[in-house]
Structure 1
Amino acid sequence: MQEGRTREPFRLPLAAAAHELKAPLALVRQLSLALETGDYTDTERAVLQQRITLTAERALRLTTDLTRAERLDDGLFKVEPLNPIVLCEEVADELSPLYAAHDRTIGVKPHRRQLLGLANRELLRRILLNFTDNALHYSRDAPVYISAQQRQRGAVIRLGVRDYGPAVPANVWRRLMQNLGRPQPLHNRPASSGLGMVVAHEFAAAMGASIGAVRHRDGATFYVDIMTSTQLRLL
């Protein structure tokens, strides 16, 4: 966890923002042109319209996050006890239509123990939406799962999003871990500029949390660590 650190002011990386917005906006344009020129059934037209709406919403989430990140000040955001599993389920429900439009599925791994964490609900939600948005584009045909587990003898709760995208070479991964919070394009994930990690890093720092990632042979798990609430011991 990050405590006692002074965060540097967030500076919007314009080139990275343009790169991230280009893909969803280009897709919206492509789908719109297809609707104008194609001969579709009512059902096919409805599917295309839904994809346009969902893709536009993804671009809007990014611009909203960038605006919010620019307005973060040096003070910590208010944190409160929350159930991380419930929040994970809300995020999965929110993105399930977008996943379905891409023939993908998203779910939450069950957790037997009751969990109670400390975080700013909206910032944590934005981080998870960011990670799950990215996982959609790199998970191939495998389902995406959000998980919550206790770490450091129960002092920390880790919320992770597992993707099954292209493996990142070890030397590239080391550089990525050393420069978390800075835009870092990955050559084998050309649709990403790393801007999502920059925004997630800013949101986590604003509430005293931290982000990170675990490398797998078939993808990666991006996670955010929050403190466990001591109120759970009183329940």
Structure 2
Amino acid sequence: MATHTLLSGLPSGTNTDREPLVLTVPGLNNSGPGHWQTIWEQEFDNCHRVDLGLWDDPHRNTWVNKLNLAIQRADRPVVLVAHSLGCLAVAWWAEYEQPGRDGPVVGALLVAPPDVEERPLDRRLTRFAPFPPAELPFPSILVASRNDPYLRFSAARRLATVWGSRFADAGPAGHINAESDLGEWTFGQLLLSQLLPDGLRSAVAGKRPLPRLGSIGDGRGQHLAER
């Protein structure tokens, strides 16, 4: 599996005033070849993976420190794209670092966070308990599936409220991972485009631009809740 570690392999000659750096933050056991995070990294030139390490034996502070290092090394605005336990790494990073509204992270897409408190499917998830209780200091969208075995849909909606995130319904998509067979997951790309500030929305560098929609919905039960 080809992965990008921290900020290695960035394209040269980029416009740091406009182009955000999209950092993917995988969860437990990393994201494999068929995972939409991996596909995005292959499709978009400045979408890169944070190498959190200890994928099978995660440690909260280690993951948060690795994420912080990646963010601090960035020479442009950062958009975080986290999956599963990676969402908790992002939330704990915000809790520990207390970045301001004008900080380096301009948005976060938080996909399928798992239950780490009441009904964790894997005891390793409890190492990230509890859910950080504070509102995130940057725009965020929390994406949940109606049949995710790792977190009940109603609990995901409540978590979005706690974190101050917009809530996106991904329909029945399991854990929104490789087993969900989402391919490049166009719905997630649409959500990502909505996170970018107006001046950055069209500037995600890649082999092709990210699609955009004003009102998201694909006719399959997937939608982004209104503010």
Q: Greater CA radius of gyration, 1 or 2?
A: 1
- Shorter chain as normaliser: what TM range? under 0.3
Richer in helix (by share): 1
| Greater relative CO, 1 or 2 (CA 8 Å, sep 6+) | 1
For normalisation by structure 2, the TM-score amounts to 0.27
